[in-house]
Amino acid sequence: GIQVEQSPPDLILQEGANSTLRCNFSDSVNNLQWFHQNPWGQLINLFYIPSGTKQNGRLSATTVATERYSLLYISSSQTTDSGVYFCAVMGDKIIFGKGTRLHILP
Amino acid sequence: EAQVTQNPRYLITVTGKKLTVTCSQNMNHEYMSWYRQDPGLGLRQIYYSMNVEVTDKGDVPEGYKVSRKEKRNFPLILESPSPNQTSLYFCASSFGGISAYGYTFGSGTRLTVV
């Protein structure tokens, strides 16, 4: 089946810093989604991005489907950005990566 | 408000005592799914359902049952819970897996089996 790998597994940054989270997948996929799990455990949709680039405020995402990776950019980090970021891909099944845990220090 | 509702939020039970975690969505979604989340392992799919009366195994179905008798409800049944089923459980729903229409998660159920 499709393998999804996220990097880095953990990231600690000072408030105001920028970060790039990566999601690699091993085969062609139909869809890709980024999620944020906040410190209270709630999972929230960020971007549906099977290809191309999207932006929403300080967050943006790019997927290069032909090279099988997606990037999530967070600019000017805030403490509320802390949590775990997951990417998920959909081939014949939905597969989640193991996530990147982000800590933003005040 | 469009949402996926799971109950209970927290549950402590004893080994072998049958339990059901309910999941209900009000968005008329065809696709529903259950996940468990464990430290270092991410989200693993237990079962999913493409529509009423259609269910399929995910990656970790052992020890779990599901049913989809109505479109809005997708309960997760543990017939004989064991301590290795202690985990954080999420229900999710959508119009068809991951798509531009979104993939909505419930708030989670933290289960402890002693």
pLDDT number for residue B12: 97
User: What residue in B sits closest to A89 (Cα-Cα)?
Assistant: B98
Q: By the CB < 8 Å criterion, does A70 face chain B?
A: no
Banded pLDDT at B97 (limits 50, 70, 90): confident
Sole residue written with tokens 């455990």: A41
Q: By the CB < 8 Å criterion, does A12 face chain B?
A: no
Q: Can you tell me the distance from the alpha carbon of A39 to that of A36, in angstroms, rounded to the nearest whole number?
A: 10
What pLDDT, in 10s, does the model give residues A39-77? Answer: 999 999 999 999 999 999 999 999 999 999 999 999 999
> For A96, which of B43, B48, B107 is closest by C-beta distance?
B43
Residue A14 has pLDDT above 80, yes or no: yes
Residue B72 in 3-state DSSP?
coil
For A92, phi then psi, to 5°, come to: -85, -15
> For B98, which of A33, A41, A97 is closest by C-beta distance?
A33
What pLDDT, in 10s, does the model give residues B9-61? Answer: 999 999 999 999 999 999 999 999 999 999 888 899 999 999 999 999 999 99
Q: By the CB < 8 Å criterion, does A42 face chain B?
A: yes
Average pLDDT, chain B: 95
Helix or strand (DSSP H, E) at B48: strand B42-51
Q: Can you tell me the distance from the alpha carbon of B60 to that of A68, in angstroms, rounded to the nearest whole number?
A: 26
